[in-house]
Structure 1
Amino acid sequence: MKTSRRTFLISSIGVASTLALGTTAFAADAARVEESDPTAQALGYKHDASKVDKAKYTKYAAGQDCGNCSFYQGKPTDAWAPCPMFANKQVASKGWCSAYNKKA
């Protein structure tokens, strides 16, 4: 899998900020990430995975969504849950971004 330096750095910043802030944020209080958020735009985040630009994000495959990503910090049945890629802002379970990593 080929990852650009920019994607790696953005992902690293998300993980580092999560570690720095800790995981004490309550899921119910966390803000939802907007598609217009700079990090969301850099990672190609969409609230609905079916709306991903498949030509631009060739890594995307049908069936990939935040709910089955290793970074998703909720249950797959949760509609929204925190994600460290977005400083623990909530992402949609049916969403997708280029940091997607299939849950083991």
Structure 2
Amino acid sequence: MNQTTFSRRAFVITTIGAATTFVLQRNARAEAPLLTESDAPAKALGYHADAARMDKAQFARYAPGQDCGNCSFYQGKPGDAAGACPLFGGKRVATAGWCNAYNQRAG
């Protein structure tokens, strides 16, 4: 094997490895999709993207002031419009949303 063949082979392998690493890192940073009220898990838990519009007669567990942003399951950062919720398979929920699994964050 001559030096030119080895250099080309090393270059191709290195380039493919770098491109794969770039794609994997970019995909890891991509935001999860936003949960919609029409998604099956959202319907099952009575999720609404805007807790201020909740129907107290239909959702007796709801109390004013409860929203995803102060729920113990919410994984978003303060000030985020939406954040991850493990109850919805990796989808993001609106910070102002609410569902029947609401659990007041301690503290």
TM more than 0.5: yes
For 1:55, which of 54, 57, 65 is the aligned residue? 57
Cα deviation digits, residues 10-59 of structure 1 (max 9, x gap): xxxxxxxxxxxxxxx95742010010011101111011001222112111
Q: Which structure shows the higher helix fraction?
A: 2
Match of 1:89 in 2: 91
Are residues 56 and 29 of structure 1, via their aligned partners in 2, closer, same or farther at CA, if it must alter by over 3 Å?
Answer: same
User: Which protein has the larger Cα radius of gyration, Structure 1 or Structure 2?
Assistant: 2
Match of 1:22 in 2: none
Q: Secondary structure at the match of 1:39?
A: helix
Name stretches of at least 5 consecutive residues in structure 1 with no aligned partner.
1-24
| 1:42 and 2:51 are equivalent in the alignment | no
Q: What amino acid is the match of 2:78?
A: P
Q: What amino acid is the match of 2:76?
A: G
Match of 1:79 in 2: 81
Compute the TM-score of the two structures, normalised by the length of structure 1.
0.71
The higher relative CO (CA closer than 8 Å, separation ≥ 6) is in: 1
Are residues 84 and 27 of structure 1, via their aligned partners in 2, closer, same or farther at CA, if it must alter by over 3 Å?
Answer: farther
Are residues 97 and 26 of structure 1, via their aligned partners in 2, closer, same or farther at CA, if it must alter by over 3 Å?
Answer: farther
Moved over 6 A (4+): none
- For residues 57 and 42 of structure 1, the distance between their equivalents in structure 2, rounded to whole angstroms, comes to 13
Measured on the aligned residues, the alpha-carbon RMSD in Å equals: 1.6
Q: Determine what percentage of the aligned residue pairs are the same residue.
A: 57
Name stretches of at least 5 consecutive residues in structure 2 with no aligned partner.
1-26
Count of aligned positions: 80
Compute the TM-score of the two structures, normalised by the length of structure 2.
0.69
